[in-house]
């Protein structure tokens, strides 16, 4: 994955420092915040844990952050794990039985939970109990474990991979959307003030316009462009510094990364497509999973590419950016466009 788009949480400390702790510090996703506010008040009134929640949407939009805020607002601890980490039912049983009443269990990448563990979760979510089989063969015995009432918060970039019975067990399903520039400017200014970075209004807007609607990427750009401001300027992120820093990161004026541009070029070379996901992935040298979940959702939303049953196609705005026409050759060549 290209460096500027690397949305794996490699720098946890940096992320945690910038992570909002309350709804007031969390700009954007207004509908979701309103809904959660109501569910939290209602649960508190009834003195019950809030219903199980599933947050879905592309990486870096705030799913983990919202899970933390829900726990904070409910006044409970949050335990964090991930789908791949819960390999065996015993891992799940150990975690659940050590929880306190009302606590939140946050499972990131919940679509990667194995089938067996997922099925154990069903009874935990519904009946606050699991029957776990210890040993095997002749010595197998089933142990009934009761669990304190807890809230499961799952996060997924691939809601479609969750089985219907699993999805049905979440009372609250919320899909996060990409952020418009005005919310990203607020996020960038807040992060700049936490990190002690001086940034001008148009510098912040430039980062906001080019970060693929994603706060995690906005924060990463901010910290990288700050270095440019310190070395090439007087430490303040101005419009010029932001532009210079972003082009050093391989982000073009449209906010597209090298990989986005390669994807568009590949489709153009195939007469605009359709090109199958696997072929595309092989051509650009990226995993099909990353293409589908990290790059594509934004490119589809921006009208750069479209998804058809036959494969991916170049969409009208994709042609415009490449200065090309469907069925024709490029008007000015594409070689030096970016
Ligand atoms: P996800 O779990 O969806 O991948 P995270 O919740 O880990 O995303 O957020 C990634 C980073 O972006 C964190 O540093 C977080 O603080 C920041 N972030 C996400 N959404 C917002 C927001 N609405 N306001 C401020 N910061 C945000």
Q: What is the pLDDT of residues 35-82, one digit of tens each?
A: 999 999 999 999 999 999 999 999 999 999 999 999 999 999 999 999
What pLDDT is stored for residue 134 in this prediction?
Answer: 74
Annotation says 334 is catalytic: no
Mean of pLDDT values over 22-29:
97
Atom of ligand 1 nearest to the CA of 215: 12
The answer to whether 246 and 211 are in contact (CB under 8 A) is no
* Distance of CA 64 from the midpoint of ligand 1 (Å): 7
Annotation says 157 is catalytic: yes
- Least confident span in 64-68, 94-98, 215-219, 262-266: 94-98
* CATH (one of 3.40.50.300, 1.10.287.3510, 3.40.20.10, 3.40.50.800) for 29-175: 3.40.50.300
Chain segment 273-312, per-residue pLDDT in tens: 999 999 999 999 999 989 998 899 999 999 999 999 999 9
| pLDDT class of 337 with cuts at 50, 70, 90 | very low
Q: Which of 65, 151, 156, 157 is catalytic?
A: 157
Domain chopping of the chain, boundaries: 29-175, 181-248, 258-330
* Distance of CA 233 from the midpoint of ligand 1 (Å): 29
What CATH number labels 181-248?
1.10.8.60
The pairing of strands 129-134 and 141-146 is: antiparallel
The answer to whether 172 and 55 are in contact (CB under 8 A) is no
Judged against a pLDDT cut of 80, whether residue 4 lies above it is answered with no
> ∠ CA 131-161-84 to the nearest 5 degrees?
55
Q: Give Cα separations from 107 to 52, 76, 151, 152, 155 (angstroms).
A: 11, 16, 11, 7, 6
Chain segment 107-141, per-residue pLDDT in tens: 999 999 999 999 999 999 999 999 887 777 777 78
State the architecture of 258-330 in CATH terms.
Orthogonal Bundle (1.10)
Whose C-alpha lies nearest to ligand 1, atom 21?
Answer: 62
- For residue 155 and ligand 1, the question of a CB distance below 6 A is answered with yes
- For residue 214 and ligand 1, the question of a CB distance below 6 A is answered with no
How far is C-alpha 197 from the chain's CA centre? 25
Annotation says 81 is catalytic: no
Mean of pLDDT values over 223-241:
96
* Distance of CA 15 from the midpoint of ligand 1 (Å): 8
- CA-nearest of 47, 53, 95, 93 to 70 is 53
CA–CA gap between residue 300 and residue 187 (Å, rounded): 24
Percent of the chain with pLDDT strictly greater than 90: 84
| pLDDT class of 12 with cuts at 50, 70, 90 | confident
Annotation says 236 is catalytic: no
Atom of ligand 1 nearest to the CA of 67: 6
Annotation says 108 is catalytic: yes
> Could you tell me if residue 322 is left (phi over 0), alpha (psi between -120 and 50 degrees) or otherwise beta?
alpha
- For residue 156 and ligand 1, the question of a CB distance below 6 A is answered with no
Positive or negative, the CA dihedral 95, 101, 103, 108 is positive
CA–CA gap between residue 114 and residue 91 (Å, rounded): 12
Mean of pLDDT values over 21-47:
97
What pLDDT is stored for residue 329 in this prediction?
Answer: 56
Atom of ligand 1 nearest to the CA of 7: 4
Q: Which of 108, 210, 266, 313 is catalytic?
A: 108
Chain segment 141-177, per-residue pLDDT in tens: 888 999 999 999 999 999 999 999 999 999 999 999 9
| pLDDT class of 9 with cuts at 50, 70, 90 | very low
What pLDDT is stored for residue 5 in this prediction?
Answer: 53
The answer to whether 288 and 281 are in contact (CB under 8 A) is yes
Candidate from 8, 33, 62, 111 with most ligand 1 atoms within 8 A of CB, to mutate: 62
- For residue 262 and ligand 1, the question of a CB distance below 6 A is answered with no
The answer to whether 73 and 40 are in contact (CB under 8 A) is yes
- For residue 67 and ligand 1, the question of a CB distance below 6 A is answered with no
Whose C-alpha lies nearest to ligand 1, atom 19?
Answer: 62
The answer to whether 26 and 187 are in contact (CB under 8 A) is no
> Is this structure's pTM higher than 0.75?
yes
> ∠ CA 75-96-140 to the nearest 5 degrees?
170
* Distance of CA 328 from the midpoint of ligand 1 (Å): 42
Question: What would the 3-class secondary structure string for 75-104 be?
Answer: CCCEEEEEHHHCCCHHHHHHHHHCCCCCCE
- For residue 219 and ligand 1, the question of a CB distance below 6 A is answered with yes
Positive or negative, the CA dihedral 306, 310, 311, 315 is negative
């Amino acid at each position: 994955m290209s460096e500027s788009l690397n949305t794996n949480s490699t720098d946890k400390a940096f992320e945690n420092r910038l992570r909002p702790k309350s709804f007031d510090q969390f700009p954007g996703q207004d509908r979701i915040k309103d809904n959660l506010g109501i569910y939290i008040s209602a649960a508190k009134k009834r003195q019950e844990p809030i219903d199980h929640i599933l947050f879905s949407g592309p990486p870096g939009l705030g799913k983990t952050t919202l899970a933390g805020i829900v726990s904070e607002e409910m006044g409970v601890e949050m335990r964090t794990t991930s789908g791949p980490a819960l390999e065996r039912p015993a891992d799940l049983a150990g975690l659940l039985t050590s929880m306190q009443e009302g606590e939140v269990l946050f499972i990131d990448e919940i679509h990667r939970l194995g089938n067996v563990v997922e099925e154990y979760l069903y009874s935990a979510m519904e009946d606050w109990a699991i029957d776990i089989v210890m040993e095997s063969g002749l010595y197998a015995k089933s142990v009934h474990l009761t669990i304190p009432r807890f809230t499961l918060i799952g996060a997924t970039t691939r809601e479609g991979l969750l089985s219907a019975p699993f999805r049905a067990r979440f009372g609250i399903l919320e899909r996060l959307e990409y952020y418009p520039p005005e919310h990203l400017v607020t996020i960038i200014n807040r992060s700049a003030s936490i990190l002690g970075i001086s940034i001008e209004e148009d510098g912040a807007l430039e980062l906001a316009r080019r970060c693929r609607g994603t706060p995690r990427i906005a924060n990463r750009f901010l910290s990288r462009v700050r270095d440019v401001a310190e070395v090439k300027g007087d430490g303040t992120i101005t419009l010029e510094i932001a532009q210079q820093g972003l082009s050093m990161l391989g982000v073009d004026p449209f906010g597209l990364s090298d990989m986005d541009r390669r994807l568009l070029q590949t489709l153009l070379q195939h007469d605009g497509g359709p090109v199958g996901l696997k072929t595309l992935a092989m051509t650009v040298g990226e995993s099909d999973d990353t293409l589908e979940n990290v790059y594509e959702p934004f490119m589809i939303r921006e009208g750069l590419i479209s998804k058809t049953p036959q494969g991916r196609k170049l969409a009208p705005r994709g042609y415009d950016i490449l200065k090309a026409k469907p069925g024709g050759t490029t008007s000015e060549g594409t070689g030096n466009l970016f």
